[in-house]
Amino acid sequence: MSIESVSSNKCFGGWHKRYAHESDLLNCKMQFAVYLPPVVSEGKSVPVVYWLSGLTCTDENFMQKAGAQRIAAELGVALVAPDTSPRGEGVADDENGAYDLGLGAGFYVNATEEPWARHYQMYDYIVSELPSLIEQYFPVTGQRAISGHSMGGHGALTIGLKNPGRYSSISAFSPISNPVNCPWGQKAFGAYLGDDKDAWQEHDASVLMARGGKIPVLVDQGESDNFLTDQLMPQALQQAAQSSGYPLDLRMQPGYDHSYFFIATFIEEHLRFHAEHF
């Protein structure tokens, strides 16, 4: 596969770049962003933190709002931010234009139901196709960590937990922790995965964490998040970790909401967390 340069901006001595490529898995053109720290210009290869964004977002939100490049430059870590869903002419979308299904709302699963199955293979895209591109075209090592926000927090947790050999650490902000029991998850899973509730369970972080594991996980959740009770359900994740003895560090942050102001406040701690485990 080849990649096409979209834009390039110098940032904290490194480079923020955007690229487009034709995805064989998603059957459409995709865009992603990558931040390369200054040490790359010295011929060094660096580990990668993959960031998965939430509902309605693209590859641009995190890179423009979180302020993560400064600390990534200091730590010598690359950041990679993919889009949140396939896009383009012919890609299925919710017929009513809902924000929580279809474009911008891929939920990081492999859809099995029509009309979604042809394009919505976001799980495999994040786990295999995108890392293959990154490791082919950029000076990165085989060390990876994964993080995300909201729907992307769900994606980071589930993908990391299901692939313990690929990631050294996992973190999340305001993740959808128990999607099989919340409206967002039930709507998306019902559309993408159909009526097979066993398939739903394989993409629920609380279910997966209850099975145990050893990859370090850091989660920050704002106590003033307006989605806290109905959609995010961090207590389910905490209970799962307690039942299995999972090494989860779940931090409830007083006064913080669901916004990128919250992410910007704690992103440095998350990147340092990942750097410690590379």
Q: Which contacts qualify for 8-11: CB closer than 8 Å, 24 or more apart?
A: 11/35, 11/69, 11/73
Q: Hey, which residues are catalytic here?
A: 150, 225, 258
Q: Give the closest residue to 91 by CA, choosing from 75, 107, 100, 102.
A: 102
CB 18 within 8 A of CB 7: yes
What is the model's pLDDT at position 13? 98
Give the integer Cα–Cα distance in Å for 80 and 77.
10
What is the model's pLDDT at position 1? 78
Give the integer Cα–Cα distance in Å for 221 and 37.
28
Element containing residue 81 per DSSP (H, E): strand 78-82
- Torsion angle in degrees (nearest 10) through CA of 108, 70, 218, 207: 0
CB 263 within 8 A of CB 149: yes
Give the integer Cα–Cα distance in Å for 258 and 239.
22
By the 10 Å C-beta count (0-12 exposed, 13-18 middle, 19+ buried), 34 is classed as buried
Task: List the end-to-end C-alpha distance of the chain, in Å, as a whole number.
Answer: 28
> Counting every residue, how long is the chain?
278
Give the integer Cα–Cα distance in Å for 100 and 60.
18
pLDDT by 10s per residue, the chain, length 278: 799 999 999 999 999 999 999 999 999 999 999 999 999 999 999 999 999 999 999 999 999 999 999 999 999 999 999 999 999 999 999 999 999 999 999 999 999 999 999 999 999 999 999 999 999 999 999 999 999 999 999 999 999 999 999 999 999 999 999 999 999 999 999 999 999 999 999 999 999 999 999 999 999 999 999 999 999 999 999 999 999 999 999 999 999 999 999 999 999 999 999 999 99
Give the integer Cα–Cα distance in Å for 47 and 45.
7
